[in-house]
Structure 1
């Protein structure tokens, strides 16, 4: 578990966390979380806007990225994972490839 500061106007890049589940609590700012969902035959990009007090759950292997589109204010989040190591698998795009 740890606290992360996300600078204004940044994003994490596309990635997943392998077999680790990730829970996120938004302390401040308005970060945006972008996921790749599979509905039917086509993958769909889902954007979740958050605010202080919101929770986000990222299941294992789900491609996503975190964004802070606010040009002036950093976002602060608390992250808890089900693994002791911080697994990050970077992806070329928001897709299900490894």
Structure 2
């Protein structure tokens, strides 16, 4: 029987984040909290870095819900609403919610790296890379 009252807290230092997780072209995902790193069973958490003037590949996160917090830069989150392309332009301090299975991409039109913190309702960094769904808008 597990003693839930005395389980240890786990500390993952920023310098210990792992790139050993599923990746998408045009961005770098770093894993902090996961089943693999700390034994979590219901949450995955990490960071994504998008270089200046870069666009990620199209992807979705399967059945997981994804919450995003913008740390730095001004990333743009692009998705389709019917036939229309929607662009969410963000700033540091903003949050974005990505529902399950929604294809999207991240763009960084700015001159500085964009960094976001991501939390998912899974113990794994679920990423399904897709063929290009639509051409990036300049």
TM-score category (smaller protein): 0.7 to 0.9
Of Structure 1 and Structure 2, the greater strand share is in: 1
TM-score by length of 1: 0.84
Match for 2:80 among 1, 11, 36?
A: 36
Q: CA deviation at 1:45?
A: 1.2
CA contact (8 A) 1:14 1:63 kept: yes
Aligned residues: 90
Aligned to 1:9: 53
Match for 1:77 among 116, 125, 129?
A: 116
TM-score by length of 2: 0.61
After TM superposition, the structure 1 stretch with the greater mean CA deviation from structure 2, 49-58 or 81-90, is 81-90
Aligned to 2:91: 51
Of Structure 1 and Structure 2, the greater helix share is in: 2
Greater RCO, CA 8 A, separation 6+: 1
Q: Any unmatched runs of 5+ in structure 1?
A: none
Q: CA deviation at 1:77?
A: 0.6
Aligned to 2:67: 23
Q: CA deviation at 1:91?
A: 1.3
Q: Any unmatched runs of 5+ in structure 2?
A: 1-44
State the Cα deviation string for residues 33-92 of structure 1 (Å, max 9, x = none): 001123xxxx3211110001110000000010001111x200111000001111111111
Q: Secondary structure at the match of 2:74?
A: coil
After TM superposition, the structure 1 stretch with the greater mean CA deviation from structure 2, 8-17 or 24-33, is 8-17
